[in-house]
């Protein structure tokens, strides 16, 4: 087990709550936070996108029961306006929602498909040195046969924003291997001011989307735009890999499970136990059963059937192989 070293100042947490799947994941997140991290003294914000020109339908949380339960679990639902992304790129919510948080107060953003599995208040955050999730695969860039390599693609982005490329490299990894280059999953990130972080994140993301370097001409930016911009933002603020130490976030303290079938397939017995424990109270169950994938996976036992398909101590190396097995057996749902 990774060890923490000190307590720290209070901080805020932000997740995005939106009508449909995300609102139910937000309930599970809030329930697990209160259950597993009773010493957390900060505020939990559920940022809710508002109707507008960038949404063809109302994106807000549906149903008073969900709203009421989130509030009972200590969450504060706060509205935000989409000015740049919205329906065409919903991953941009995590950027635009940052402007709704209190200015100058440390924050941690989590994707809603995250489970708190330990004492979050014990994590020794240094909010002046941001980082993000290292639980990722080499999803971007995808190299073309006669196109530029990893180094040229990433360097073009660092050069675009006047950032030092060499200091971002992990020199313990070989040249032209994807892990040599700073790359994160955007499932969590933090800093000491959400407005400052959000403005730079927005500026970089829009600049890449609207005026990418020539080296990116063959690269897809949907859905990867946030994960392309994020390492540049983190590096610009003096952040790095694994601050705080590895093994806490996406480790002993949190689990970014992404979809419930993957949680049951590959996560620890402790993670499964926390999930089923925090979703067991009748008040929580009544609301969560409104969402069919949660009802089937957790309450009707399909998750346990998924778990039985795998040896958790000898899982396939690539996530796609796990997904394929689940789909082949008819248990994939989200």
Count other Cβ atoms within 10 Å, centred on residue 285: 14
- Between CA 286 and CA 72 the distance in angstroms is 14
Asked whether 21 and 334 are in contact (CB, 8 A), the reply is yes
Environment class of residue 319 by beta-carbon count within 10 Å: exposed (0-12), middle (13-18) or buried (19+)? middle
Asked whether 127 and 106 are in contact (CB, 8 A), the reply is yes
pLDDT at 9: 65
- Between CA 207 and CA 186 the distance in angstroms is 18
**Residue 130: DSSP 8-state:** -
- Between CA 127 and CA 108 the distance in angstroms is 9
Asked whether 62 and 106 are in contact (CB, 8 A), the reply is no
- Between CA 250 and CA 141 the distance in angstroms is 23
Tokens linked to 130: 């941001």
- Between CA 182 and CA 232 the distance in angstroms is 8
Quote the radius of gyration of the chain (alpha carbons, Å): 20
Instruction: Report CA 27 to chain centroid distance, whole Å.
Output: 16
Please tell me whether the peptide bond between 141 and the residue prior to it is cis, using omega within 30 degrees of 0: yes
Tokens linked to 297: 């996976």
Q: How many CA atoms lie within 13 A of 320 on its CB side?
A: 3
H/E stretch holding 231: helix 225-236
Asked whether 259 and 334 are in contact (CB, 8 A), the reply is yes
Instruction: Provide CB contacts within 8 A for 194, sequence distance 6+.
Output: 12, 14, 98, 99, 101, 102, 103, 105, 107
Unique residue bearing structure tokens 């994941």: 25
- Between CA 247 and CA 32 the distance in angstroms is 19
- Between CA 264 and CA 267 the distance in angstroms is 6
Q: Tens place of pLDDT for every residue, the chain, 334 residues?
A: 444 444 456 899 999 999 999 999 999 999 999 999 999 999 999 999 999 999 999 999 999 999 999 999 999 999 999 999 999 999 999 999 999 999 999 999 999 999 999 999 999 999 999 999 999 999 999 999 999 999 999 999 999 999 999 999 999 999 999 999 999 999 999 999 999 999 999 999 999 999 999 999 999 999 999 999 999 999 999 999 998 888 999 999 999 999 999 999 999 999 999 999 999 999 999 999 999 999 999 999 999 999 999 999 999 999 999 999 999 999 999 9
pLDDT at 8: 52
Asked whether 130 and 191 are in contact (CB, 8 A), the reply is yes
Strands of 111-179, DSSP E: 114-116, 132-133
pLDDT at 325: 98
């Amino acid at each position: 087990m990774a060890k923490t070293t000190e307590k720290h100042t209070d901080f805020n947490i932000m997740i995005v709550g939106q009508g449909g799947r995300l609102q139910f994941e937000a309930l599970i997140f809030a329930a697990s936070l209160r259950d597993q991290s009773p010493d957390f003294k900060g505020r939990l914000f559920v940022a809710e996108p508002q109707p507008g020109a960038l949404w063809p339908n109302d994106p807000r949380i549906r149903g008073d029961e969900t709203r009421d339960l989130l509030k009972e679990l200590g969450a504060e639902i706060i509205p935000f306006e989409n000015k740049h992304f919205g329906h065409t790129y919903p991953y941009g919510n995590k950027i635009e929602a940052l402007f709704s948080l209190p200015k100058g107060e440390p924050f941690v953003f989590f994707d809603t498909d995250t489970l708190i599995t330990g004492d979050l208040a014990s994590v020794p955050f240094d909010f002046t040195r941001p980082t993000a999730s290292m639980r990722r695969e080499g999803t971007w860039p995808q190299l073309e046969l006669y196109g530029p390599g990893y180094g040229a693609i990433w360097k073009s982005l660092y050069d675009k924003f006047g950032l030092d490329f060499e200091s971002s490299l992990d020199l313990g990894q070989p040249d032209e291997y994807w892990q040599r280059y700073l790359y994160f999953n955007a499932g969590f990130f933090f800093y000491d001011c959400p407005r400052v972080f959000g403005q730079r994140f927005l500026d970089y993301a829009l600049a890449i989307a609207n005026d990418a370097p020539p080296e990116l001409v063959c690269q897809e930016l949907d859905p990867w735009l946030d994960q392309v911009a994020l390492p540049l933002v983190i590096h610009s603020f003096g952040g790095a890999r694994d601050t705080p130490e590895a093994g806490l976030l996406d480790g002993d303290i949190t689990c970014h499970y992404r979809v419930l079938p993957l949680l049951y397939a590959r996560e620890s017995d402790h993670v499964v136990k926390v999930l089923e424990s925090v979703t067991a109270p009748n008040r929580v169950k009544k609301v969560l059963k409104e969402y069919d994938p949660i009802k089937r996976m957790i309450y009707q036992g399909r998750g346990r059937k998924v778990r039985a398909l795998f040896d958790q101590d000898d899982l396939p190396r690539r996530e796609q192989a796990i997904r394929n097995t689940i789909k082949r057996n008819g248990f994939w749902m989200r």
